[in-house]
């Protein structure tokens, strides 16, 4: 196949599917991510969710490299993705984990899970000793990492929380500030049906439309460069009594037999850039 034909086919694939083909040169990083995603250091049950969360495909599609400076936003108490990012970046890159912090009058949830995350990292210095933990809790703490130093910022299933807490604009501003010009923001979030946000403007059910996510990022200065269906789940009707929390892994409704076959939520996967690179 000629180089021109290969380029034409790649462009057609992106146009049809939203997926960026993985080049032969990316096989090494995919193997490294896969190794971390199935490592013995992972918490019980976490690797079993790889089939629902697609970390290898997702991180490779975002363009992760081992030599990057990466900021993970709100890894929470579990640090599900931190378990993968930390070993991949440990030798040649840098990982900042911009997590919760205790805030005056805020829910105890934040302080408890920040402590849980810190304990997790402390228990495995062979994996996490080089992770830099910061606090990002607008309006009390607004800096995720040193300004303009990150190649990539990543956040997974957090957007609804920012909308519910009315801090989405500040969170996107903090992510924008952390990135170098040309840096990538990779965002995965529970996806509401197009045009449905008027029924749940506060994202109380956990779902957000792609249009709303793109508008929030755009208001901060980001440009959308690609979207993917890597984390799509057509079986998720979104009509659940406890929203996304009815589904795995939470099963808040208490009806695991009913909701387990659906799998985890339908999720958008969006790639943005900070202009100027």
- The structural domains of the chain, with segments of one domain joined by +, span 27-273
Q: Is the pLDDT of residue 13 over 90?
A: no
CATH superfamily of 27-273: Vaccinia Virus protein VP39 (3.40.50.150)
Instruction: Please report, rounded to a whole number, the percentage of residues in the chain having pLDDT higher than 70.
Output: 91
Strand partners, 272: 185, 224
Q: Which two tokens stand for residue 32?
A: 């490294």
Rounded to 5°, the CA angle 29-233-273 comes to 50
pLDDT (tens digit, 9 = 90+) per residue, 114-167?
999 999 999 999 999 999 999 999 999 999 999 999 999 999 999 999 999 999
Mention every residue, 6+ apart, whose C-beta is less than 8 A from residue 13.
19, 21
CB distance 202 to 171 below 8 Å: no
What is the H or E stretch that residue 180 is in? strand 179-190
Position 59 scores a pLDDT of: 98
Q: Is the pLDDT of residue 11 over 90?
A: no
Position 176 scores a pLDDT of: 99
Position 103 scores a pLDDT of: 84
- Banded model confidence at residue 80, pLDDT cuts 50, 70, 90: very high
Residue with the two structure tokens 């890597």: 230
Rounded to 5°, the CA angle 255-229-83 comes to 70
Sheet holding 267-273, edge to edge: 132-135, 94-99, 69-73, 150-156, 179-190, 267-273, 223-228
Q: Where are the beta strands (DSSP E) in the chain?
A: 69-73, 94-99, 132-135, 150-156, 179-190, 223-228, 267-273
* Among 82, 84, 96, residue whose Cα is nearest residue 57: 84
Mean confidence (pLDDT) of the chain: 91
pLDDT (tens digit, 9 = 90+) per residue, 197-243?
888 999 999 999 999 999 999 999 999 999 999 999 999 999 999 99
- Global model pTM greater than 0.85: yes
Strand partners, 133: 97
Q: Is the pLDDT of residue 193 over 80?
A: yes
Average pLDDT rounded to a whole number, residues 102-106: 82
Q: Is the pLDDT of residue 177 over 60?
A: yes
Pairing between β-strand 150-156 and β-strand 267-273 as defined by DSSP bridges: unpaired
End-to-end alpha carbon distance in the chain: 32
Q: Is the pLDDT of residue 261 over 50?
A: yes
Position 198 scores a pLDDT of: 87
Task: Give the range among 103-107, 125-129, 272-276 with minimum mean pLDDT.
Answer: 103-107
Position 102 scores a pLDDT of: 85
Position 106 scores a pLDDT of: 78
């Amino acid at each position: 196949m000629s180089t021109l034909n290969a380029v034409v086919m790649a462009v057609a694939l992106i146009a049809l599917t939203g997926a960026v083909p993985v080049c032969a040169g990316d096989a090494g990083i995919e193997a490294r991510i896969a190794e971390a995603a199935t490592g013995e250091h992972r918490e019980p049950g976490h690797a079993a969710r790889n089939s629902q969360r697609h970390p290898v495909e997702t991180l490779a599609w975002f363009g992760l490299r081992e030599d990057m400076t990466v900021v993970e936003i709100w890894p929470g108490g579990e640090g599900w993705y931190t378990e993968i990012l930390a070993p991949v970046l440990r030798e040649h890159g840098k990982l900042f984990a911009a997590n919760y912090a205790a805030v005056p009058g805020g829910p105890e949830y934040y302080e408890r899970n920040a402590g849980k995350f810190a304990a997790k990292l402390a228990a495995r210095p062979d994996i996490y000793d080089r992770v830099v933990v910061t606090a990002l809790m607008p309006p009390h703490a607004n800096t995720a990492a040193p300004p303009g130093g990150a190649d990539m910022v990543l956040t997974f299933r957090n957007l609804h929380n920012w909308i519910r807490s009315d801090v989405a604009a500040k969170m996107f501003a903090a992510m924008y500030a952390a990135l170098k010009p040309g840096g990538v923001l990779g965002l995965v979030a529970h996806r509401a049906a197009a045009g449905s946000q008027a029924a749940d403007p506060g994202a109380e059910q956990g779902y957000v439309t792609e249009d709303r996510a793109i508008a929030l990022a755009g208001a901060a200065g980001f440009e959308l460069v690609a979207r993917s269906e890597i984390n799509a789940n057509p079986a998720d009707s979104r009509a659940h009594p406890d929203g996304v929390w009815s589904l795995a892994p939470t099963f808040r409704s208490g009806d695991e037999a009913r909701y387990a076959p659906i799998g985890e939520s339908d999720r958008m996967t969006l790639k943005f850039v900070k202009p100027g690179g």
